Amino acid sequence: MARTNDVLVATDAGESMRTIVVVGAGLSGLVAADAICRAISPCKRSIHVLESRDRVGGRLLSVELPGSQIIDLGATWIWPASNPELDRLAKGLDVPRLSEGDGAFRFERGSQAVALGLADSLRSSENVSIRLQCQVLSVSSLSPAGKIGVSFRNSSSQDENMIADAVFVACPLRLAQEHIFFEPSLGEDLVAAMRSCRTWMAQQGKFVAAYDSTFWKNRRRKFYWEKASVDGPLDVFFEHGDAIWGFLSNERRWRSLDSDDRQHRILLQLRAMLGDEAMSPVAVFEQDWAREAATCSASDAAEAHPWKHPVYGNRDVLSRGHWNSTLWFIGSETSSASTAGFMEGAVEAGRRRVRQKLHTP
């Protein structure tokens, strides 16, 4: 897999960043690790990416349908005109895209292909590790040594400790605030900012039904997306080759159902709109992000209007280093207000925080 073309240049920064821990192998965490990897020579740094899931990508998740089609269960669209950082990253990784019309594109092999490309590149690099199923428990400033202690539970359910020169926290801010013990306690302004920072799409869910034909075209014109005209668990649905996918309704009566019951009701809903063939998919997939502990915090689950994109407030406290610039927060929600929560924001935040750290005395 090709590497990205843009290279960050560090002069003597390598001496002060010997061991770096990145918490989270979503897009932002992988981008940050890649930036550090290319900025500091292998003999002067050791990078450890710790991910609680059993995969990389975070809110980027793609599945292969029968017939080798790829569809996204997480973030999907890219608008190159307004997503230049993401577009450049994907091109550097040789991840092709497909036009969806009106300036929108999606990645041919799914959005997760970007994360997988970065992970492959990192794994082939010297002194870089990506460890899955590792839950970070605590992050502690080891003053006056200027180091940070990181405690985590590994994939064998054993506790480990690591000493780092810098830590970049790339998981959703609310999850970090709720589940990671910071010592000393973070400042009140930082804690307040983390608590108020909604994890975009944390309550959302997607459903996919793959078929052996586009039977609906025999009854109607081709459609790109449509609001569901029949009551059921899907709010809106889209056409994707031989598949139909849609966003799950956030109404409790639907989301509280077990997955099998909800999927059956969705097929009944699709049959009422598209015909009897809708009851016979060759494969179905569902991703309920609200039930994923590595995405949806207790605060996110309690949000009343999950479809409304958050108006993110002051970014200053989230965009600067803490504990003498040894602790940084780099998730997508820490980026500029216009890109926060999106893939573009994840790339932007990961790169920007690394630049800031490398240029901090």
Q: What is the pLDDT of residues 239-268, one digit of tens each?
A: 888 999 999 999 999 999 999 999 999 999
Give the model's pLDDT for residue 11: 37
Say which DSSP state 202 is in. Answer: T
| Residue-wise DSSP of 4-72 | PS-----SSGGGG-SEEEEE--BHHHHHHHHHHHHHS-GGG-EEEEE-SSSSSBTT--EEEPTTS-EEE
Give me the count of residues in the chain: 361
Q: Which whole number is the average pLDDT over 3-12?
A: 38
- Decide if pLDDT at 329 tops 70: yes
Nearest by Cα to 26 from 74, 87, 92: 74
- Distance (Å, rounded) from C-alpha 172 to C-alpha 136? 13
According to DSSP, the residues that pair with 215 across neighbouring strands are: none
The answer to whether the pTM exceeds 0.75 is yes
Angle between helices 343-358 and 27-39 (to 10 degrees): 30
Query: Domain extents for the chain?
Result: 13-60+111-201+310-358, 203-294
305 falls in which pLDDT band (50, 70, 90)? Answer: confident
Model confidence band, residue 340 (pLDDT cutoffs 50, 70, 90): very high
CB atoms within 10 A of CB 36: 26
Selected from 3.90.660.10, 3.90.950.20, 3.40.50.2020, 3.90.1170.20, the CATH number assigned to the domain covering 203-294 reads 3.90.660.10
What is the pLDDT confidence band of residue 5, given thresholds at 50, 70 and 90? very low
Asked if 13-60+111-201+310-358 and 203-294 have one fold, the answer is no
Question: Per-residue pLDDT for 221 more than 60?
Answer: no
Percent of the chain beyond pLDDT 90? Answer: 78
User: What is d(CA 275, CA 220) in angstroms, rounded to the nearest whole number?
Assistant: 10
- Tell me what pLDDT residue 31 has: 99
Asked if the 13-60+111-201+310-358 domain carries CATH number 3.50.50.60, the reply is: yes
Report pLDDT for 227.
79
| pLDDT score, position 18 | 82
Q: In the structure, what pLDDT confidence band is assigned to residue 222 with cuts at 50, 70 and 90? A: low
